[in-house]
Amino acid sequence: MGDKLIWEPHAVLFPMPTVIISTAYEGKETVDACAWLMPVNLDPPMIALALRPKYLSWEYIKQSGEFAINIPYENQTEFTDYCVRTSGYSEDKLRETGCKVFYGKHIKAPLLSDSIINMECAMKETYEIGGTHSIFVAEVLQTYFDEKIVVDRDCDNLNDAVSLQNAKGIAYVMGEYWNLGHCIGLRSE
């Protein structure tokens, strides 16, 4: 095994995307940070996220069947950390932070205005796996891109219409937030 350290089993991926989940139910809204998510289907576009039942967002998603994914910029690391360490049961995180929101076409949950990308999502499946998290699989109904990353509004190809050079997002790595740096190569055709 060479120079490997043997440790108890961990679900360690490096890096993990960092997003803010926004939810609403019966006129109340909340946000939580989440790093356990991934795309799971192209057509229709679907995302899966794992969330702990202790979060108010978990309850709102279960009740409403919808949520928004908001990808924060690296200058929002403090806000992102606040969202994960502050309970929505005890504080109104959106009001406390003065976070600006807008509302999309398909869901009642707010979308965070100062985000790289926002996605309106509708639940398709929920999986209770008998552990610490529930898995929510949702269809992406609408996607919004910040104007700062749009380079060609008339282009039909998303890869050419949007440039992540200016995105400066965050990743979560074992208790730390990291910036994503710069492109180091392109996928072969």
Residues 120-148 pLDDT 10s = 999 999 999 888 999 999 999 999 999 88
Within a domain: 53: yes
Burial of 19 (0-12, 13-18, 19+ CB in 10 A): buried
Nearest to 33 by CA among 63, 62, 58, 64: 58
Q: Which residues of 59-98 are buried (b: 16+ CB within 10 A; e: fewer)?
A: bbbbebbbbbbbbbbbebeebbebbeebebeeeebbeeee
Residue 125 lies in a domain: yes
* Domain harbouring 150, CATH code: 2.30.110.10
Task: Give domain status of residue 167, yes or no.
Answer: yes
Q: Is residue 189 part of a domain?
A: no
Domain-located, residue 3:
no
Mean pLDDT across the chain: 89
- Count how many domains the chain has: 1
Full domain range(s) for residue 26? 16-179
β 176-179/28-34 pair status: unpaired
In a domain, 89, yes or no: yes
Distance CA 186, CA 23 (A): 35
Residue 187 included in any domain: no
Structure tokens at 141: 């109904």
Greater confidence (121 vs 175) lies with: 121
- 185 found inside a domain: no
Q: Does residue 101 carry a pLDDT above 80?
A: yes
